[in-house]
Amino acid sequence: MKVAELLAAIEALDLRRSALALEQEEAGQRAKTDPTVRQLRQRRAGLEGDGQHQASALKQLELEAAELAGRARSHEKAIYDGSVRHPADLQRRQHELETLRGKVQALEESELAQMATQEKTSAELLEVVDQLALREREVEQMRAADRLQAPELAEEISSVQAERAQLAETLTPPQLRTYERTAARRRPAVAKVTGGTCSGCRLPLPSRLIQEARQDQLVTCENCERILLL
């Protein structure tokens, strides 16, 4: 196998190892708190707090309305049972009664609006609770799959590393350094020559470089510095 072919094989193994390492990292992240679960839990807590505040506000409105309605009934009783005889007192009570009735009506309208808001919050809370339960089940299924796959993933990473080490032993240190220096700057580090053109930068290559590559020399593109593979 030519030097460039060996380096291309090493690069393929490096890319595979990176992909496997990314899978491990993603599995590790899933083992922690899932971002969507965290957001849904925060949303649930917020809605529960909103619901409690809304229930408290509704209760306060009900108490205020009941207190004013009681006062209105007291005035109404006094007006119609004949206990109020003085015209000025009667007029004052009638005015107070109308004022109280207006306030009670306004409070009852506020109660209806508050009840509608509370119902909307409750409906949204139920939806979030359902979404959270679904996401938690999905996350647990993914974590279970990750646990099952973990040994196989670790074994494949070990196999890739062993194969890479075996290939690297057939190369000289300068050859490996050239590859690693190139791979650190750009991927792919090894570019196939097609029709006299570097597949990495798409520019034509001097015939001199192509000839050197045919002689199994480690040749790099003069434009992008990738290792050339015939």
At residue 225, the pLDDT reads 94
At residue 82, the pLDDT reads 77
At residue 44, the pLDDT reads 97
At residue 77, the pLDDT reads 87
Find out whether 226 and 11 touch, Cβ atoms under 8 Å: no
Domain-by-domain residue ranges, the chain?
Answer: 33-168, 173-229
- ∠ CA 101-103-105, rounded to 5°: 70
At residue 128, the pLDDT reads 98
- One digit per residue, the tens of pLDDT, for the chain of length 230 reads 899 999 999 999 999 999 999 999 999 988 888 999 999 999 999 999 999 999 999 999 999 999 999 999 998 888 888 777 788 888 898 999 999 999 999 999 999 999 999 999 999 999 999 999 999 999 999 999 999 999 999 999 999 999 999 999 999 999 999 999 999 999 999 999 999 999 999 999 999 999 999 999 999 999 999 999 99
Find out whether 190 and 207 touch, Cβ atoms under 8 Å: no
At residue 90, the pLDDT reads 84
Report helix angle 173-185 to 3-31, nearest 10. 50
At residue 86, the pLDDT reads 83
Residue 215, SS3 per DSSP: coil
Pairing of β 227-229 and β 190-194: parallel
CATH number for the domain whose boundaries are 33-168: 1.10.287
pTM of the model: 0.67
Q: Dmax of the chain from CA atoms? A: 125
Per DSSP, what are the bridge partners of residue 194?
197
At residue 75, the pLDDT reads 87
At residue 80, the pLDDT reads 82
Please count the helices (runs of H) and the strands (runs of E) in the chain. Answer: 5, 3
Distance between CA atoms of residues 66 and 193, nearest Å:
89
Report which of 176, 194, 139 is spatially closest to residue 6, judged by C-alpha positions.
Answer: 176
Per DSSP, what are the bridge partners of residue 229?
192
